[in-house]
Amino acid sequence: MNSIKDIKNRINSVSDTRKITNAMYLIASTKVRKAKAELDKTRPYFLALQQEIKRIFRTVNDLDNKYFYPADGKLLLAKTYGCLVITADKGLAGAYNQNVIKQTMDLLNDHPNTKLFVVGEYGRQYFEKRNISIEQSFDLTAQNPTMYRAREISNRLLDGFEKGELGKIFVVYTDARNSQVEEVKTTRLLPFHRGNFVSDPTVINLDFEFSPSIEEVLDSIMPNYVAGFIYSALVDSYCSELDSRLNAMNNANTNAQELLAALSLEFNRVRQAAITQEITEICAGSKAKHGKEN
């Protein structure tokens, strides 16, 4: 049986832990609203770029471009893959990081010749501890993603793709579908499949004039589209991290409350037993004393 002092120390320890988890819950709830607001701001620009690309393919169906699969639909053989892995900077977010790592390892098992580009301290430490080669670890935090950082990552990946060092590029990130469900996705970033930009058949085809040329316009749009996709993936992942942390801290608060209730019950039981024992000893001592006097 634990002593009253031990139980008191345990209660104080659990109470202090609950204060920390509750503070982390409040901080995450404030940040997630801001992050989702930033995500909503980026969607119109991203969708507008998609519409412009669709407009180009409505004008020229058989256009060949380095960012897309060939018009004949034949798959490209790529020896070296590139993979952008987006993790958090820290844990305490449920299975958020582990799910991203699992999908990345599945990709590495299927395609061993894959170069990793990592965002997030958790991912960096995971791969380094297991001696898994990292092509580049972007020296930036996974928190507070910005378009500037997304362009920095995009420029590095596009440079490898255009030089032929990377035949295909994938992104492993977490899609924030809602506050209860986060889905880890492995999405091929480059080359794009033309099916991603299928035009709406109800849209009337009009003649457009592109200057200086339709090829140059597409070459100008696609890097922005890639940067926008990466920025969206960064913000999506950050929102998912915060949602996971909210759920984890909420569960921790609930567990702490249940543990405190159990410890309080045990504390009262042990204290009552101690009081009863003390009363019993006093009564026994009193009887013994009266017995001697008689």
pLDDT average, residue stretch 166-184: 78
pLDDT bin (cut points 50, 70, 90) of residue 172 is very high
Terminal Cα distance for the chain, rounded: 39
Q: Share the mean pLDDT of the chain.
A: 77
The contacts of residue 62 (CB under 8 Å, 6+ apart) are 71
Tokens (6 digits) for 44: 């119109």
Report if pTM > 0.85: no
pLDDT of residue 117: 92
Flag whether pLDDT at 35 surpasses 80: no
Q: Tell me, what amino acid is at 23?
A: A
